Structure 1
Amino acid sequence: MGWFWRKMNKKRTLERGAMVLKDLIELGHGISNPIKFFSADEILKATNNFSKSNHVFRLAYYSDWYSGKNENHPMILIKKRARFWSLRTDLMCRDIAVSSMVSGHKNFLKLVGCCLELEKPVLVYDGVKKHYRLKISEQTWKRRMKIAEDIATALAYLHTAFPRPFVYRTLFPWNILLDEDGVAKLIDFSFCVSIPEGETFVRVDRAEGFYSWLLDDSGISLDRVVSEKTDVFAFGMFMGRRLLLGNRRIGEKEESEGGGSDTGYASKMKRRVQNVMSKLKEDRRMEEIADPKMIEKMGHISEQELCQMNAFLMLSRRCIGPSEEVPTMVEVAKELKKIQRSPYNDSSSPSDETQFDSAQDISSSVILSNQT
């Protein structure tokens, strides 16, 4: 029976390779960095059959990460889907394709290659630098601002660096890694979609993530329309809910109705998101809304830090505001850099309306300077 399984394995590998190639041609016009296709034996040997001693960490509930090495790579980092995570193969191939396109940028992991022979494809990254899970509660205010800038820059790159803009769609803390130098890197492009040429949005089959609905004047649309503003809104929530509030569910009431239906889930997420939005827009002292764990570590908030937090909050509000007024991710990345560098004081506090450089200047200074 060995010949049968080898034949099936070869067929599966060819089908997956065709999916990756199709995505590369369709999404990036063939633009990608060279990657190696590892055999199953090479991956098993590099990780000692995915041994516990090679296990680095688990992200959320869907992926395990292993360290390894082989003759050509002294240190590699391997992502393997958790056994009980039934992600569709086409989405894993999408992750491989987009990862290969962005791996030259410092705010993404450098993809070395992949293995399509195993039951679930694995991705192989350069592991020379150590990488860690993002634990927001352990981050200082200064580090949180830098993490925000790094991720904003990554999203801006997805929106502007390719013939067809990419929309990330699923911005969660477990999709962010920190390297040993403290640089934040966005990972997992399984649900990433591209906007067709000449269009400003795309309709998707499924709404993935809490913020996969386009914010409009009436609230959160449930028509599964995805655009660059979807990422801007999600990032604004990430800034406010995760980095500033510390993910506290202030005043939220967990509701069980709705079951597992799409409509029930969407309604529940809409209520949760609107609750956070209302908290971010309340006129309260920063000491009352900021993450208490962060405030405790700081001991005392300086005038400069307080001004930075207020500017950070205002930028978050703009990102989750009316859709026709939200900034682009390029503008957000530029403003975050400015917030960190500007010596704010009482006479020069930031306003809601921020002046930006030209799009060309922003792209060159914020996006291209972060490529490696």
Structure 2
Amino acid sequence: MNSGKRVAAMHRVPGRRVGVALAAGVAVTLGAALSVQPATAGESDARAVGLHVENGRLVESTGNDFVIRGANHAHAWFTDQLGALGDIKELGANTVRVVLSSGHQWERTTPDQVAEIVAECKANRLICVLEVHDTTGYGEQSAAVSLDAAADYWVSVLGELQGEEDHIIVNIGNEPFGNTGYEAWSADTTAAIGKLRDAGFEHTIMVDAPNWGQDWTGTMRDGAQDVYASDPTGNTVFSIHMYGVYNAPGAVEEYLNTFVDAGLPILVGEFGHNHSDGDPDEDAIMATAEQLDLGYLGWSWSGNSSEVGYLDLVNGFDPAQLTEWGERLFHGENGVAATAEEATIYN
């Protein structure tokens, strides 16, 4: 299977009926489903270093509120395209989410490569979210590995990441459950966070939703408070991926507002303008994120397989060849160029 096919596989949500049902009716239940007290961890946490969470918001060590705006880049399959980070920065992004591999499904991203990515992020004045992709669809995708296996990978590259807490967010594993076995998401996510903290990670940790990232079952929504409380540093943020399930403004607004109302940090870690499982409402996603001052990261820079080639932001990794989706994300209303603010750590 070529690298383009691998990119396509991560967005699988079997059965369009799920997305239509959620957008049409289930959204009205989201606001009431997460009944928790506002999260306050981080206010007096002496361990908080670099990027961290305060009062449900991601902030820099300077105390500046930081709103992630940018794109995803599939580095693990295109290791010769590291220059994409600079190109994404030139289009106005303040953050890039970079795909790594633990070596279980694809060629392992080595410690030296991790160090190179970190250096490239800093050279281009970007915040980088680093994610292990081998967990995608665990429980349903036979080749996928557990969050525990992803955590082991992170521990193996800790030396390349220590001291970079101002610049790097650790996204433990991409879309760590499909639509099978997702009930274990809370326990497995809590355990993985604990393994990283025990190993000495002080970075902000990002955790993806199950159900191929879209949480149509409400599993992350309902378990978020307990997962957040399990982190002794209080520096965990939640990432929802918005594709066909989020095909109407109500579904987008209800889901994001549920976290905001609970005082829990949330962002849209992936989304597109179209998808095989339905038609995401990218206008509502970007408008709601801007209204609530939440981050978003569009999928993806370039290299998607032909089935989902419309998700490429540029053609052939060429920043001069923005696609329709690229124009929308970077230059459209509530887009990256108009809304992203560079991290103050670079000032």
Q: TM-score range by the shorter chain?
A: under 0.3
Q: Which has the higher contact order (CA 8 A, sep 6+)?
A: 2
TM-score (norm 2): 0.25
Higher helix residue share: 1
Larger radius of gyration: 1
